[in-house]
Amino acid sequence: MVEKKMDCVKIGLIGYGTVGTGVVKILTENSSLIKKRLGYDIVVEKICDIDISTDRGVKIDKSVLTTDINEIINDPEISIVVETMGGIDLAEEMMLSAIRAGKNVVTANKALLAEAGEEIYKAAHEVGVDINFEASVGGGIPIIRTLKEGLVGDKVEFIFGITNGTCNYILTRMTEDGMAFAQALKEAQELGYAESDPTLDIEGLDSAHKLAIIIPITYGVKVDYEDIYTEGISKVDPIDIKFADEMGYKIKLLSILKDTKDGLEARVHPVMIPFRYLLSNVNFNLNAIYIRGEAVGTILLYGQGAGMMPTGTAVVSDIIELSRNVISGRKKRVPPLSFDYADIKKVTPKSMDDIVTNYYLRFSALDKPGVLSKISGILGDANISIASVIQKGRGAGEEDVPVVMMTHEAKESDIRKAFDEIDKLDIISKPSIFYRVEDTTIKRGGRKDEWR
Ligand code: HSE
């Protein structure tokens, strides 16, 4: 029997919304460029969505549209299924059906991978198909391919990411224009960056989803998404943005991943970083991911973390990579999680109590003699060394004054212990506030040029 020579790669798309439309647009408009690079055509064989009547402004043959997922799952000619529908339960069911039918899968679904990825990766491993998910982290920024391929021979020391455009937009407006949180959020919603229910974004959960996805790829271990310490920006007080500015810092929501001697740090929370760090100049809805590798030094990836065409670009890059595998008859040229699935063990990230960094502290204290010495005495007893102090005068009609301090490196459990004691003092009028600070110049022995 003469084997029929393959002349194209056929894909099926589930979810013809914003990202799905971007994917079809790029595949259609750049088809000759893609053919030149791949040597084969990529044919969108079927598109499944509940809405197949709205015109998406893309030239496609209407016969490819269907509301029946089985037309994709049961089509033996389709070798790659692209899931751009979003959501968790239904998307998971559809992806598992596609995998069990022997299809390679491309997805942009960060919530699904972070919360139910285990089952999906396991199914793909057992069936022996590939799964790619570049668009799930950082939209158009090729972070996953950078970690899996560009840095495949290097050890990552740490990653600091601004991976939520909504939070970055809100913090930028609060910092640059003195807006209140609620006003900046409303504006982000009007611009289409934030959802009508913004919880996932502003409480840091979306950033934690993205962090959970890159952990196995970076370190060959996995963590439960719920074990990632997550604190959003809804409680960021403009007064701390103002003090940070006076001290030369910006507040950014960072996802932090670090390999330390005593464990893995995986955490999402607002952080103060000095003006001179490039990350502090990543503004509005833009994303950036800063990586330090042992051999490569530092890398900064910067760009659009969301949107039809940036996210579509990432999905298309995955389709083309998997098409290369399909054409050459290979599987897992690059393992989906960068390491052999069977070797990836679960770890628990380091407790926040054990984090050691610099801290910004703000106390609301009565303006009386001896206040500073009482506070600094408790901090000293807790092994916390102060690097600088600002105390402002009392405003008209105000009883208390903000006392702001920057510490040398301290252990978070010591900060919490000291705060418990300080907040019991009768000279303290409101709960004390702290922010974690990443600044190599105030770390003992730190070098100014360490990371920018
Ligand atoms: N909600 C996300 C953000 C979209 O604001 O960045 C992309 O994941």
Which amino acid makes up residue 421?
A: E
**Ligand 1 nearest atom to the CA of residue 166, by list position:** 5
Residue 350 lies in a domain: no
User: Within 13 Å and on the Cβ side, how many CA atoms surround 231?
Assistant: 13
What is the whole-number distance in angstroms between the Cα of residue 94 and the centre of ligand 1? 23
Which residues have CB under 8 Å from 246's CB, separation 6+? 390
CATH number at residue 372: 3.30.70.260
Q: Which residues are catalytic?
A: 210
Within this chain, do residues 166 and 261 fall inside the same structural domain, yes or no? yes
Residue 2 lies in a domain: no
Within this chain, do residues 16 and 88 fall inside the same structural domain, yes or no? yes
Task: Choose one of 196, 201, 207 to mutate for the ligand 1 pocket test, by most ligand atoms within 8 angstroms of C-beta.
Answer: 201
- For 347-409, strand residue ranges (E) read 356-366, 386-391, 400-407
Residue 264 lies in a domain: yes
Neighbours of 35 (CB within 10 A): 13
Q: How many domains does the chain have?
A: 3
pTM above 0.85, yes or no: yes
DSSP per-residue string spanning 435-451: EEE--TTTSTT--TTS-
- Tell me, what's the pLDDT at 394? 73
Asked if 198 contacts 253 with a C-beta cutoff of 8 angstroms, the reply is no
**Ligand 1 nearest atom to the CA of residue 210, by list position:** 8
What is the whole-number distance in angstroms between the Cα of residue 193 and the centre of ligand 1? 7
Which residues have CB under 8 Å from 81's CB, separation 6+? 11, 12, 13, 14, 72, 73, 95, 98, 103, 104, 105, 106
Within this chain, do residues 159 and 226 fall inside the same structural domain, yes or no? yes
DSSP per-residue string spanning 292-315: EETTTEEEEEEEE-SSHHHHHHHH
- Residue span of the structural domain in which 20 resides: 8-137+309-336
Q: Is 360 in the pocket of ligand 1 (CB under 6 A)?
A: no
Atom 4, ligand 1: which residue's CA is nearest?
306
Give the Cα separation of 401 and 395 in Å (integer): 8
Q: Is 201 in the pocket of ligand 1 (CB under 6 A)?
A: yes
Atom 2, ligand 1: which residue's CA is nearest?
164
Within this chain, do residues 407 and 426 fall inside the same structural domain, yes or no? yes
Within this chain, do residues 262 and 410 fall inside the same structural domain, yes or no? no
Within this chain, do residues 254 and 322 fall inside the same structural domain, yes or no? no
Within this chain, do residues 252 and 207 fall inside the same structural domain, yes or no? yes
Atom 1, ligand 1: which residue's CA is nearest?
201
What is the whole-number distance in angstroms between the Cα of residue 287 and the centre of ligand 1? 9
Q: Is 349 in the pocket of ligand 1 (CB under 6 A)?
A: no
- Tell me, what's the pLDDT at 444? 45
Atom 8, ligand 1: which residue's CA is nearest?
306
CATH number at residue 38: 3.40.50.720
Within this chain, do residues 293 and 406 fall inside the same structural domain, yes or no? no
Q: Is 139 in the pocket of ligand 1 (CB under 6 A)?
A: yes
- Tell me, what's the pLDDT at 337? 97
Which amino acid makes up residue 327?
A: I
Q: What is the CA radius of gyration of the chain?
A: 25
Find tokens 């102060």 and name the residue: 386
Asked if 411 contacts 354 with a C-beta cutoff of 8 angstroms, the reply is yes
pLDDT in tens, the chain (452 residues): 555 568 899 999 999 999 999 999 999 999 999 999 999 999 999 999 999 999 999 999 999 999 999 999 999 999 999 999 999 999 999 999 999 999 999 999 999 999 999 999 999 999 999 999 999 999 999 999 999 999 999 999 999 999 999 999 999 999 999 999 999 999 999 999 988 999 999 999 999 999 999 999 999 999 999 999 999 999 999 999 999 999 999 999 999 999 999 999 999 999 999 999 999 999 999 999 999 999 999 999 999 999 999 999 999 999 999 999 999 999 889 999 999 999 999 999 999 999 999 999 999 999 888 999 999 999 999 999 999 999 877 777 778 899 999 999 999 999 999 999 999 999 999 999 999 999 977 654 445 555 54
Residue 42 lies in a domain: yes
- Tell me, what's the pLDDT at 399? 80
Give the Cα separation of 410 and 415 in Å (integer): 7
Q: Which of 286, 277, 268, 289 is nearest to 249 (CA)?
A: 277
Give the Cα separation of 60 and 82 in Å (integer): 17
Give the Cα separation of 255 and 230 in Å (integer): 9
Within this chain, do residues 131 and 152 fall inside the same structural domain, yes or no? no
CATH number at residue 178: 3.30.360.10
Within this chain, do residues 56 and 169 fall inside the same structural domain, yes or no? no
Neighbours of 178 (CB within 10 A): 12
Atom 7, ligand 1: which residue's CA is nearest?
306
Residue 45 lies in a domain: yes
What is the whole-number distance in angstroms between the Cα of residue 205 and the centre of ligand 1? 10
What is the whole-number distance in angstroms between the Cα of residue 317 and the centre of ligand 1? 19
Q: Which of 408, 406, 398, 405 is nearest to 430 (CA)?
A: 398
Give the Cα separation of 131 and 107 in Å (integer): 8
Q: Is 164 in the pocket of ligand 1 (CB under 6 A)?
A: yes
Q: Is 193 in the pocket of ligand 1 (CB under 6 A)?
A: yes
Residue 222 lies in a domain: yes
Within this chain, do residues 154 and 248 fall inside the same structural domain, yes or no? yes
Give the Cα separation of 304 and 219 in Å (integer): 25
